[in-house]
Amino acid sequence: MSKRIALTTLIFTLATFALSPLTHAADSEGVLHTYKKVTGETYFALSLKADQQLPQAGAHDILVLFDTSASQIGEYRKDAMSCLDSMLANLDGTHRVKLMAVDLYAVPMSRDFVAADSEEMKAAIAKLNRRAALGSTDMVELLKATAKQFNVESKNQKSVVYIGDGMSKANLLQISDYKELVSELVSKQLSFSSFAIGPQRNIELLAALGNSTGGVIRVDNEDQQTSLKSGFDLAGAVVAPVLWPTEITSSEGVKSVYTSETTPPVRMDRDTILVGKLEKPGAIEVSILGTVAGQKVELSWDVAQSGSNEDYNFLPTLVDNAAPHQGVGLPTLGTEGLIEVRRSVQNNVGELNTVGLHALRTGDVKGAIEVADEVLRKDPTNTEAKAIKGAAERGPVTTEIALVQDTAPAPAAPAPANPGALVLDGSDDIDTSLEDPSSFLDNVENERKVLAGKLQAVVENGLEKARDLMGRSPEKAIQELKLLLEQVDSATDVAGDIRQQLRKQIEDAIRETGARQVDVDEQKMLAQSREANAQRLKNLADETARKQELITSLMEKFNVLMDEAALEDDRKRVDEGEKYLTADAEIAMPIRVLLPYDGTPTTAVWKARILRQYKGLEKFRDLRHKNFADVMYENDEALIPFPGGDSPIRYPEAEFWHRITVERRKYVTDQGNNPAEQKIVDALDEETVMLFFDQPLGEVVDSVKTRHSIPMIIDEKALADAGLDSQMAVNQDLRGITLRSGLKLMLNSLGLTYVINDEVLKITTPEAAENELIIRTYEVGDLVMPIMSGMGMGGMGMGMGGGMGMGGGGMGMGGGMGMGGGGMGMGGGMGMGG
């Protein structure tokens, strides 16, 4: 994408090899590359790859470290999240992931290792999205926190994935700290893989970490799909098997810079590079013993020696620099990494030659010789360095050239105006450009003009791009302009007045963009306000529609209830106009609340009430007429005398008593006879054995509970109130008795008792048991009044139909019937006595 800025040649070239896709290649043999110095010393680079299928690792615990420093903003943050999402989407359910945000400190986003597709991980990603990109990254703190995140008791394999730029601006990483941190990662078998993304990236550090711990690296580039592809690659790489070396043996004369403790792990999807010295020619044998997912594995290679190759003339410098640290810190991540190291050294040599040539042209003879010696130390056969040194040893060409050093200091690494003009065969003649001061000054001036023109073109293109972004994304435009400003400030080989002019243009553009940002923010706020208003109006319309649907539904129900009420059987004596009440209270009134200013619900309320009143009046009138006739009928029926021994009491048949008994059961609430408590009651009648000697009451209760399979508990609170506890000793020797008797004897000796309540047998104190209210219901027969022969003088009789009878002559009133102790009254108040 266009946001990427130019980096060093090493970063671009390393990015090229790092983006090669992961493959499970077929078995391959080792490859040996050598370089022999003129002094006779032979240096080697050995490529090793697993030549057999390694055991699969199974489930993994994967720690994801997501860089949230200030450099990770805009498109970088977006692409980093895409890489994270892609990696999580391609991990299966057997693996667990923990997400952490890292800058100055490592902050957990998820509490622990969880499934990649779990709700916990989704919440962690949402939390990460809300975290602002601030501060700098402290790689020392990051690596220290890494090893502490894994549970040592977990049997899963462990991997680490870092997504960020690897720039440790907050705390520069020293080699001593690096060796200690890497040693801890290796001791815990934590492979470190990474996705390098950001405006500036320390790919060399990330590659070194991957090399030392058996990881891989992916680097962001211009491809829009890089982040997705890298996430897919990392998902496969972090769960691939890794051989962790415990011992390395080799043929006599092979002196590797690595020890058994520092040898890089071996993978199947890339090769591992060993470097060192060969003290004995011929084929070599190498064997590595290590562990893969807890299993011991030994790999061996027989490698034929090849001839000295000038392409690997950088090996002496590489080996000599790596030897003091046992190879820790080498970024030789596979053969591709070794090639990139070679390119980096060659580029460095070329830059040094350019600096030496410039020093020679400006008369700095001493500086030219020092630079040439440094180049020859790295590349003893470099003919260009030899030519520069030879020319410098002959001294400056003219005084004028020597004076140039005072007026124009040498740039860091300018490209030679005409590299081919330098005589490389060691002759005594130097290019005419060194002999002619005016020509030399013209060349220098031309170079400056060319560089200034290039810089001006870059600035113009950057300003044009920023103007295009102003209206859409002012923040991104300001970021691009700041990067452009850094590029201008770093162009020290361009005249200061030109850089000042370009700087002013960029600063003006930044101020203009800042002003535009205010307008854009206001427009965004206005658009958001409009969108919010539109959404509010839509919600209001939706709410109104829902309310209207509810009112329509309620009115339809109201009409149905009114129709049903009108069709009610008027002869039902129990009806109290319930449907009218329901229509009024449950339908019409709620509608009235929803539409307080509408006449329709008010009309419905009064319609229900008036119709109920009207229908009630009709019903009450009919009932009065009917009941009057019924009472008159019963009054006439009461005038019938009882001949002979007929009793006025009539007993229903047995079937009637049984039926009403069954019907009454539904009104009985019996909380004491449920199946669980009945099971306990039955168990109390079982035979038991109690052999306990100085055993705590709690253990005794557990034993009885297990033997008879009943729930038993101890009322600890009641015992505590009585100054007792469940640890009191029990001594009982009882056999062949029921559990009920055994419990009674045992608990009486302790001053305790038991109750059955809440479906458990509870051991408690007698005082607490008295407060336990237990309801028991027993079925009894209906009680009826027996036939009485009389109550004697002055006895009270019964009145029926509104009359009352008095004993001793009796008197009937109200047309009813009275019975007394020897008299009966009948008819309109006339009584007859005996």
How far is the C-alpha of 136 from the C-alpha of 103, rounded, in Å? 6
What is residue 529's predicted lDDT score, i.e. its pLDDT?
87
In 264-413, which ranges are E strands? 266-267, 272-278, 284-292, 295-303
Give the pLDDT confidence of 4-17 residue by residue, as tens digits: 333 333 333 333 33
Burial class of residue 731 (count of CB atoms within 10 Å of its CB; 0-12, 13-18, 19+): exposed
For 735-804, the DSSP string reads EEEEHHHHHHHHHHHHT-EEEEETTEEEEE-HHHHHT---------PPP-PPP-----TT-B--EETT--
Identify whether the C-beta of residue 192 lies closer than 8 Å to the C-beta of residue 185: yes
Helix axes 334-361, 9-18, angle to 10 degrees: 160
How far is the C-alpha of 410 from the C-alpha of 354, rounded, in Å? 10
425 SS3 class: coil
- C-alpha angle 336/340/345, rounded to 5°? 150
pLDDT of 801 above 50 = no
Give the pLDDT confidence of 185-207 residue by residue, as tens digits: 999 999 999 999 998 889 899 99
- Lookup result for tokens 């893969």: 292
Question: Which of the two residues, 302 and 430, has the higher pLDDT score?
Answer: 302
How far is the C-alpha of 596 from the C-alpha of 631, rounded, in Å? 50
Backbone angles phi and psi of 11, in degrees to 5: -65, -45
Give the pLDDT confidence of 468-477 residue by residue, as tens digits: 887 778 888 8
Backbone angles phi and psi of 103, in degrees to 5: -150, -105
pLDDT band at residue 548 using 50, 70 and 90 as cut-offs: confident
What is residue 781's predicted lDDT score, i.e. its pLDDT?
57
Question: Which distant-in-sequence residues (6+ apart) come within 8 Å of 57 by Cβ?
Answer: 157, 239, 240, 241, 242, 292, 293
Mean pLDDT of 739-746: 92
CA 601 to chain centroid, in Å, comes to 52
Mean pLDDT of 250-262: 89
pLDDT band at residue 90 using 50, 70 and 90 as cut-offs: very high
- C-alpha angle 448/454/460, rounded to 5°? 130
What is residue 194's predicted lDDT score, i.e. its pLDDT?
95
How far is the C-alpha of 507 from the C-alpha of 826, rounded, in Å? 124
Question: Which of the two residues, 565 and 316, has the higher pLDDT score?
Answer: 316
What is residue 210's predicted lDDT score, i.e. its pLDDT?
93
Question: Which of the two residues, 817 and 322, has the higher pLDDT score?
Answer: 322
Backbone angles phi and psi of 181, in degrees to 5: -70, -40
pLDDT of 637 above 70 = yes
Pairing between β-strand 31-36 and β-strand 42-48 as defined by DSSP bridges: antiparallel
pLDDT of 813 above 80 = no
In the sheet that 760-764 helps form, which strands lie side by side, from edge to edge?
712-714, 760-764, 753-757
In the predicted model, what is the mean pLDDT of the chain?
A: 79
How far is the C-alpha of 227 from the C-alpha of 84, rounded, in Å? 8
What is residue 102's predicted lDDT score, i.e. its pLDDT?
92
pLDDT of 571 above 50 = no
pLDDT winner (highest mean) among 30-44, 82-96, 131-145, 584-598: 82-96
Report residue 395 as tokens: 């001294």
How far is the C-alpha of 745 from the C-alpha of 729, rounded, in Å? 15
What is residue 714's predicted lDDT score, i.e. its pLDDT?
93
Burial class of residue 702 (count of CB atoms within 10 Å of its CB; 0-12, 13-18, 19+): middle
pLDDT band at residue 670 using 50, 70 and 90 as cut-offs: low
pLDDT of 129 above 80 = yes
What is residue 64's predicted lDDT score, i.e. its pLDDT?
96
Give the pLDDT confidence of 21-31 residue by residue, as tens digits: 333 333 446 88
Give the pLDDT confidence of 491-534 residue by residue, as tens digits: 877 777 888 888 888 888 888 888 877 777 788 888 888 889 99
pLDDT of 624 above 70 = yes
Give the pLDDT confidence of 143-159 residue by residue, as tens digits: 988 988 888 888 889 99
pLDDT band at residue 310 using 50, 70 and 90 as cut-offs: confident
pLDDT winner (highest mean) among 287-296, 351-360, 635-644: 287-296
Mean pLDDT of 80-92: 93
What is residue 575's predicted lDDT score, i.e. its pLDDT?
53
Identify whether the C-beta of residue 778 lies closer than 8 Å to the C-beta of residue 731: no
Of 404, 476, 412, nearest to 445 by C-alpha is 404
How far is the C-alpha of 314 from the C-alpha of 319, rounded, in Å? 9
pLDDT of 379 above 90 = no
pLDDT of 84 above 90 = yes
Q: Percent of the chain beyond pLDDT 90? A: 25
| 321: enclosing H helix or E strand | helix 315-322
- pTM of this prediction? 0.47
Q: How many CA atoms lie within 13 A of 295 on its CB side?
A: 13
pLDDT of 537 above 80 = yes
Task: For CA atoms 538, 541, 546, 547, give the dihedral sign.
Answer: positive
At 200, which amino acid appears? Q
pLDDT band at residue 576 using 50, 70 and 90 as cut-offs: low
- Alpha carbon distances (Å) from 787 to 83, 646, 706, 800: 99, 11, 58, 17
Question: Which distant-in-sequence residues (6+ apart) come within 8 Å of 482 by Cβ?
Answer: 510
Question: Which of the two residues, 116 and 50, has the higher pLDDT score?
Answer: 116
pLDDT of 566 above 60 = yes
